[in-house]
Chain A
Amino acid sequence: MATVEVRHLTKRFEGNATPAVDDLDLITGEGEYLVLLGPSGCGKTTLLRLIAGLEQPTSGEVFIGGEPMVGLPPRARRIAMVFQSYALYPHKTARKNIEFPLRAAGVAAEERAKKVEWAAELLGITRLLDRRPRHLSGGERQRVALARALVREPDVFLLDEPLSNLDAKLRATARDDLKQFQDRVDTTTIYVTHDQVEAMGLGDRIAVMAEGRIRQLGTPFEVYDDPADTFVATFLGSPPMNMVEREDVIVGFRPESLLPKGVVDGGPEAVDVAFEVSRVEYLGAERQVVGTVEGLGPPTRVIAVLPANVSVAVPAGEVSDFVVRASDLRFFDKTTGLRLPRRHP
C-alpha cells in the first residue's frame, strides 16, 4: 500500500493555450478510494495518466509511496491501470491477458497459474478464462481487466472511467462489484469519472476538477452539502443547485430543500417564498416542479424536487407557498463564485 502525492503538477499539450493540468496539488490517504470527478476536458484523465507515467509532466512532481516518480516508465511505478475501453489484448484469452503482467515481471509459471486462479476466483470469472475478449460481455471484460490489474498486487490502482462503456442496467451492478472489490483488496485507488452518481457512491473522497485544477476535495457529503464554489454547486446534483443572484451575493439551495409550506416544520428559521409553478414533471420516485421563486431575491427560475411521499397538490400556473430552511441556504461571492460564510438570509 502507498499514498500518491502530486506537487505543483502542470501539463501543457503543444498547441493548447491553457494547460490540461494546472499547478495541481493532491495527496491521497493510505488505502483511500479517491475519485477525480469533472466534466470532459477538465484534465482528470490527464492527471491519471501523469500519475501512471503514460504522460510526462511539463513541471511538478509525482510521488508514490514517498518515492519520486517523474521520469520513471509506468512499469517501474508499481501501479495497475484499468482503461475506459478495458484495453484487453484481443488476440489473447482471458487467462493470457491476466497473466501478461506476470510474464513481463518474470514470475515463474507455477506462481503465475496460482495468481491467475486467485484473481479469477476473486472476480468470479474462473469459467471464462479460456475465452477471448471478443466472446465476453462488457461486464465480463471489465472483470478480466480488473483481474489483470489485480494479479500484480500493485501499490496503487488507477481506474479510468471503467463503467462508462457499460449500459445503464449493468452499470449499477458493476458499481456494486467495484465497491466490494475495493473493500476486499483495500489498496489506494484513484478513480476517474464524469458521473457524479459513481463518484458519490464509490469515493471516500471526491476531487471535483475543472480547467486543470481541483475546485474542491472532500467527502461526498462535504462536496454536495457544502460546495466550495458555484461550479461545484452546479456540477453536483441532478438537477443542480438553484442559484438566485442578488445584488451583492449569489444564494444557492438544493432543489430538494424547496418544499411546500406545511410539509416541513421549518420552525423559526424557515424562509417563506412564493413559488409560481409553470410545469410539473412526474418521475415516479419524485416530482420535479419548475417555476419562478420570489422572496430570496429577484424572481428566478428554479426547480424543486418533491419526493413521492409529499403528495400535496402543486397545480401548474398557480402560485403556491413554499419554504426553504435558512440552514439550507448557501452563499457565494458574486465575482469569484467562492462560497461565503453562512449568514442569515
Chain B
Amino acid sequence: MSVGAPEAGALRAGRRQPRYLLDREGLLGPLLLMPAVVYILALVAVPFFLAIGFSLSDVTVGDPSFDYVGLRNFRAVLRDPVFLRALRNSLFITVVTMVLVLVLGKVLALVLVKDFRGKWLVRFLVLLPWTTPVSLATIAWLWLLDSLFSPIDWTLRRLGLLEGNLHWLGNDTLAMVSVIAVQVWRIVPLAAVIISAGLAAIPQDINDAAEVDGAGFWRKLFQVTIPLTAPVMAVATLFGAILVFTDLSVVYVLTRGGPVDATQTLPTWAFFRGIQGGDLAQGAAVALFLFPVLLAMAVLILRAVRRMETM
C-alpha cells in the first residue's frame, strides 16, 4: 500500500486540473445546450420579436426609420379583402391537405409495414418527394401543370377524356386543386413514415388477438389499429399542418397567389406585401397572424395526444 498511496494523492490533486472541468455537470450541461440556445435565439426569437416590432411601426423598405404607430397596421390588414381571402385559403388548403394526407398516409403506412419483395424500392420511392427540396419539386410540378405542354393534359387527351387544355394554374378551382395536390404529394411521405412507426409499435400479440377474436380488415382497422396509432397520427397531423400552413414555396412557384389571389395564402401575402411591396410593417402584421393559429393548433393537438396516452 505504501507504493499506492502517493499515486492516489496525485489522482486527487489531478481532480482540480482543467481536464476534469468537463466532468462537472454544472458546466458541461449549459455548454452542450449553448449551440441550440444560440440557434433558437438568433433564428427564431430575434426574427419573431423583430416582426412584432415592425408590425407596430411604419417601417418600409424605402424608409427604415422606426416610428411607433400602435395597431394601425393590424387594422389596415383586417380591412384588406386580399388578407381575408389569404387567411381563408390558408386554412382551407391546410385542412383539406391534412385530411387527404392522413388517409393516404395511413394507406401507405399499412403497405409499408407489410413484408413483400422489393419493399426497399417502394419505401425509397415513397420517401423521394420528402427528400427533394420543395422549390425544385414544385418547379417540376410547374412543368407538369403547364398550360400548353402539360403531360397530364396530354395523357388525358390520349385517353380521349379531354379536348384542348385544362389550364391547371389559370383557373381558380384548378389552381387550388393543383396547390393542394402538390402539398399532399410532399407531406404524405412524412405522414406515412411517422404512422408506419406507430403501426410497427403495436405489439404483434394485439394484432394476433384481433385475428383470433374474429375481426376482419375494416373492424381491425377502425377498432384496433387507428385507435392505437391515434397519438402518432395526431403528431403527424401537427407536423404536416405546420409545414403546409407556413409554406411559401409551393404557392409562390406555382401561381404567385393567382389567378387574382385565388390561391393567395398568409405566407405569400406577407411576402408580397412586406418584401416585394416594400411595406415591411404590414408584411410583418400579416405574417404574425400565422402565430396564434399555429399556437392554438399545437396546443390542441399536443393536449389531445397527452390525453390519449394517459388513457
Q: Give A contacts to B, CB under 8 Å.
A: 49, 52-54, 73-75, 79-81, 83-91, 100-101, 103-105, 132, 134, 148, 152
Pick the most buried of A49, A86, A88, A91: most chain B CB atoms within 10 A of its CB: A91
Q: Which residues of B contact A134 (CB under 8 A)?
A: 311
B79-87, B216-224, B235-243 - interface stretch? B216-224
Whether B298 sits at the interface, judged by CB under 8 Å, is: no
**A101 touching B214 in the complex, CB below 8 Å, given contacts A87-B208, A87-B209, A91-B227:** yes
In the bound complex, what is the Cα–Cα distance between A100 and B208 (angstroms)? 14
CA distance A87 to B202 in the complex (A): 10
Q: Choose from A79, A85, A91, A148 the contact partner of B228 (Cβ within 8 Å).
A: A91
In the complex, residue of chain B having the shortest beta-carbon distance to the beta carbon of A134: B311
How many A-B contacts at CB < 8 Å in the complex? Answer: 67
Does B25 sit at the interface, judged by CB under 8 A? no
Q: Does the CB pair B208–A104 fall under 8 Å?
A: no
Minimum Cβ distance to chain A for residue B59 (Å): 52
Q: A85-B203, A91-B311, A132-B311 are in contact. Are A54 and B228 (CB under 8 A)?
A: no
- A54-B212, A152-B213 given. 11 additional CB < 8 A pairs? A54-B208, A74-B214, A75-B211, A75-B214, A84-B205, A87-B203, A91-B227, A104-B216, A104-B219, A105-B214, A132-B311
B141 CB, nearest partner CB in chain A, Å: 39
Contact partners of B203 in chain A: CB under 8 A: 85, 87
Interface residues on chain B, size class: 10 to 19
List of B residues within 8 angstroms of A100 by Cβ = 210, 213, 215, 223
A87-B206 in contact (CB<8A): yes
Partner of A89 from B208, B224, B308 at Cβ < 8 Å: B224
Does more than half of chain B's interface fall in helix, strand or loop, or is it mixed? helix
Contact A73 B215 (CB under 8 A): no
The residue on A at minimum CB distance from B206 is A87
In the complex the two chains form, is B213's CB within 8 Å of A104's CB? Answer: yes
Q: Which of B191-213 contact A (CB under 8 A)?
A: 203, 205-206, 208-213
B227 and A52 contact, CB distance less than 8 A: no
Contacts of B308 in A (CB 8 A): 91
Give chain B residues whose Cβ lies under 8 Å from the Cβ of A80. Answer: 212
CB neighbours of A81 from chain B (8 A): 208-209, 212
- Chain B residue nearest to A135 (CB atoms) is B311
The reply to whether A52 and B228 contact each other, CB–CB distance below 8 Å, is: no
Residue of B nearest to A55 (CB): B208
Rounded to whole angstroms, the CA-CA distance of A36 and B264 in the bound complex is 68
Given contacts A91-B228, A134-B311, contact A75 B215 (CB under 8 A): yes
Given A89-B224, A104-B216, residue A54 in contact with residue B211 (CB < 8 A):
yes
Q: How far is the CB of B179 from chain A (nearest CB, A)?
A: 36
Closest 7 CB pairs of A and B: A87-B205, A75-B214, A87-B209, A104-B214, A101-B213, A91-B227, A83-B205
Chain B residues within an 8 Å CB radius of A54:
208, 211-212
Q: A104-B216, A132-B311, A134-B311 are in contact. Are A89 and B211 (CB under 8 A)?
A: no
Residues in B whose Cβ lies below 8 Å from that of A73: 211
Q: For the complex, what is the distance from the CA of A103 to the CA of B213, rounded to whole Å?
A: 9
With both beta carbons as reference points, the residue of chain B lying nearest to A105 in the complex is identified as: B214
A75 vs B206: C-alpha distance when bound (angstroms): 15
How far, in angstroms, from A81 to B121 measured CA to CA in the complex?
A: 37
Q: Say which residue of B210, B216, B228 sits within 8 Å of A90 (CB atoms).
A: B228
Q: How far is the CA of A80 from the CA of B212 in the complex (A)?
A: 6
Which of chain B's residues have a CB closer than 8 A to the CB of A53?
211
12 residue pairs bridging A and B, Cβ less than 8 Å apart: A49-B208, A53-B211, A54-B208, A54-B211, A54-B212, A74-B214, A79-B212, A89-B223, A91-B228, A101-B214, A105-B214, A134-B311
